Structure 1
Amino acid sequence: MNTRVKTKEQRVRRIDKMCSNMKVIMDWFSSFINLDLRIRKKESLLFFFLLSFLFSNGQTLQEYIKEAKENNPELKAFQNGLDASIEKVNEAGSLPNTKIGTGYFISEPETRTGAQKARFSAQQDIPWFGTIKARKETASTESDVHKNELEIAKRKITLQVEQTYYKLYELKASQNVLDEQDKLLDTYIEIALKEVENNRASTVDVLKLNIAKNNLENQKEILKGEILTTETALNQLLHRDGFDPLVVPDNLFIPEEEPTMMLNDITYHPELITYDYLNELLEKKENVNAKEALPSIGLGLDYVIVQERPNINFSDNGKDIIMPMVSLSVPLFSKKHKSRSKQYEFQKEEVFQKREASQNNLENLMEEAINNRITARINYDTQQKNIEQAKQAEKILLSQYQTAQLNFEEILDIQQMLLAFENRKIQAIANYFLQTAVLNYLR
């Protein structure tokens, strides 16, 4: 199925969802008409809140994650690998090929009952008792490894979607701040022009304000490009058309209480469990290797066609020969099995060391994420205070405008401070949720 068809199906699903939401609203509205007037006033507030929620929020982050898991080609590749590994269990339970042979005697050997004309044979090798079961258990453990790798891939896709989503929030929130600053600068430029006419300000003040506005426009244009790039990245994670609209919240708030997370929480992380499965897999392979070092049994049957002897009459004249056979395949030269056993021991040690390294990395990542999230909260609180104090300073300056000349240089300084504080606050919020996404990956 090509991308265009998938995109069409995704849009149909979104339209169906919107129609379903509209049906809920219309059903509510029809019942709302019949309500008592006193109740209706309270219900109307709920109605408009519901309406604004449905049309402003659109798809939630969890819906984006779900869509990415359903459509992402990397996850589909992992799923196909898992399905193939599950099918290998059936392959491991099968017996070796049955050997069937036939031969025709060009020089016919004579026997008491007649000349042998042709021979047919069939033979089936059977591994030593328990070998097939050991192979199936090995294949089953391999499928567990693939299943765990799929879980890791899902977590990584979730993390990528969350990181891109919060990056997009940061950019759009910064864009809103720049838009507000732009409006304020327009107001100050208008005031400055009036002050120039009244000889209470100089043209230099107007030029400085225009320069600040030009710099702001420059930042807005750069931000547009970054937003477009991030939207494209998120659409690619969702396996959508690159121009599909995306919705992120206008503002996010850091929760008052800080969630706690212990290092023990990563004990059962899929990345570590993978190494446990790999170690178990090596033990299963060692068991198979030990079984294959034992003899294998062969069961067979030969059937020989015998031609009747002419001019002789006796009971077994021309009687065909049936010969059951049992064979034993003994691995006299077992050097390869000893070599495999040593390889598995080395590989077990390799898996153990890799697990230790992975656990150290995950613990360091957790510690770093926890510390960064605490730092983000501290920065957020600090910028909140700075913004409040900067706005108070702005109020004081504007209140002086009624009785004295407005100091546009101080106004510009405060606006630059406010812009910096707002951006740092947004960065702190985005960083807090980015670190939370990392911690969610580690759970």
Structure 2
Amino acid sequence: MNTINILNKRNSHFYFFTSLFDVKKGAILSFFIFFFNITSAQTLQEYIREAKENNPELKAAQNVLDVSLEKVHEVGGLPNTTIGTGYFVSEPETRTGAQKARFNVQQNIPWFGTIKARKETASTESEVNKNELEIAKRKITLLVEQTYYRLYELKARQKILVEQNKLLDTYIEIALKEVENNRASTVDVLKFNITKNNLQNEEEILKGKILTAETAMNQLLHRDGFDPLVVPDNLFIPEEEPTMILDDITYHPELITYDHLGDLLDKKESVNAKESLPSIGIGLDYVIVEERPNISFSDNGKDIVMPKISLSVPLFSKKHKSRSKQYELQKEEVYQKREASQNNLENMMEEAINNRITARINYDTQQKNIMQAKQAEEIILSAYQTTQLNFEDVLDVQQMLLDFENKKIEAIAMYFMQTAVLNYLR
């Protein structure tokens, strides 16, 4: 009877939540689940925020956006003003005197609407970079969430193995006592030890996988060294599927980026058309004239002021035609890439929805399996009060429980990973 008490004490953690639910009608359990999910969600959001603040890829994407925004001011300016001067080595004589030096200034002005078209092009390019930054943020968020839930899965499995090891220690003690009483064989003890060795082996393998996942998370957070990470030790799939409204996939940032790229090519084509038109030049020449000696007349030594206007005509427009052809080809490329991206996103959404449904089904199935395996365990232990304990059945039940618990944890991790994918697609 003492042995049964030890077993019941060792197994008390298996039945805690079930009995609590029966006594309090689920109120306390619901509180724990709610509180835990809120706490873990807060921790996850902190990691996401930290990754967005520190990730070098996001910083680079932000710099690209800032540069493109600044470029709007650059393209809105006029070409350089040309200022020149010259000195007459051999002074040409005119009626009003000898020309000594010449000064000139000229400003070229693009054809009407060219500067506006350039600014619109630069502005559209900044919209492309803005969407690419948003995509990068979403991808970082997805990576952090999936790594977070992967780490949960590994640590939860590790916790189950620790509990199973403790339980095996109890069964080994029982088996040894039964051997002393000639009610069990040494083979039973060896079988328990072999099972324990296998569990310890799995524990060591899990430690390496946990270290790899923690390294990946620290890299996403761009931390130095291995800072401690807080992850949940248990998660629950909600009983009712939470409402998740997915917008039309057409408005996903990846697709909007392609829309902006198409618009950008239209704007570039407009600039190209404007640049194929003449540009206007406005200038002024100023010539210093020396007075003629010993002669008196009204314009003697009068400097020359000569306003100028010019046209720069692109007589050979082959480069503009070539650019126009390139833009047409690039538009077709953007269209095809957009179609491929939309198909990919739709497939991702369909797969994530189906995987999440599958995870919920697996979770519910494993919950039932665990409950029934525990009932089988109770039957085996209760029979031990009057008859010899069947160690073979004990091992079978414990192996089933371990498999069911692992599959349950895997289903939970899958559910939340697929939820992260759906959040990325929203």
Pairwise same-fold verdict (TM > 0.5)? yes
Q: 1:342 to 1:96 in 2, by over 3 A?
A: same
Correspondence 1:274-313 to 2 at 5 A: 274-313=257-296
1:134 to 117, 135, 147: 117
Query: What does residue 146 of structure 1 align with?
Result: 129
Q: How many residues align?
A: 395
Deviates more, 1:250-259 or 1:185-194: 250-259
1:296-325 CA-partner distances (Å, limit 9, x unpaired): 100011111111112212221111111110
Matched, 1:242 2:209: no
TM-score, length-normalised on structure 1?
Answer: 0.86
Render the CA deviation track for 1:85-120: whole Å, top value 9, x for unaligned: 000000010100111111111111111111111111
2:326 matches 1:326 = no
**Maintained 8 Å contact 2:246/2:425:** no
Say whether the 8 Å CA contact 2:359–2:414 is kept in structure 1.
yes
Determine the structure 2 residue equivalent to 1:175. Answer: 158
- Residue 9 of structure 2 aligns with which residue? none
Does the 8 Å contact 1:59/1:247 carry over to 2? no
| Structure 1 runs not aligned, ≥5 long | 1-44
Distance 1:258 1:200 in 2: 51
Q: Which residue of 2 aligns with 1:17?
A: none
**How big is the shift at 1:262?**
7.3
Superposed, 1:103-118 pairs within 5 Å as 103-118=86-101
User: 1:34-45 residue pairs with structure 2 within 5 A?
Assistant: none
CA distance in 1, matches of 2:259, 2:409: 41
Distance 1:53 1:315 in 2: 100
2:23 equivalent in structure 1:
none
Say if 2:272 and 2:323, in contact at 8 Å, map to a contact too: yes
Q: How far did 1:225 drift?
A: 1.3
Q: Which residue of 2 aligns with 1:91?
A: 74
- Which residue of 2 is the match for residue 252 of structure 1? 235
Deviations 1:16-49 (A, max 9, x none): xxxxxxxxxxxxxxxxxxxxxxxxxxxxx9xx99
Counterpart CA distance in 2 for 1:185 and 1:175 is 15
Is 1:206 the equivalent of 2:197?
Answer: no
Equivalent residue, structure 1, for 2:414 = 431
3-state secondary structure, aligned to 1:123: strand
**CA RMSD for the aligned pairs?**
2.0
Match of 2:47 in 1: 64
Aligned in 2, Cα 1:411/1:194: closer, same or farther, shift over 3 Å? same
Q: Which amino acid aligns with 1:155?
A: R
Q: CA deviation at 1:242?
A: 2.9
1:217 maps to which residue? 200
Distance 2:210 2:275 in 1: 60
The alpha-carbon distance between structure 1 residues 243 and 78, as it changes in their structure 2 partners (threshold 3 A), is: same
Measure, in 1, the Cα distance between the counterparts of 2:304 and 2:374.
109
Q: For the Cα contact (< 8 Å) 1:236–1:242, is it kept in 2? A: no
Gaps of 5+ in 2: 1-27
Q: Which residue of 2 aligns with 1:401?
A: 384
In the alignment, which residue of structure 2 is the partner of 1:78? 61
CA distance in 1, matches of 2:295, 2:392: 133
- 1:249 match: secondary structure: coil
Q: In terms of mean alpha carbon deviation, does 423-432 or 302-311 score higher?
A: 302-311
| Deviation per residue, 1:238-263 (Å, 9 max, x gap) | 11233211111121111223356677
Give the whole-Å Cα distance in 1 for the aligned partners of 2:95 and 2:167.
Answer: 119
Alpha-carbon offset, residue 200 of structure 1: 0.6
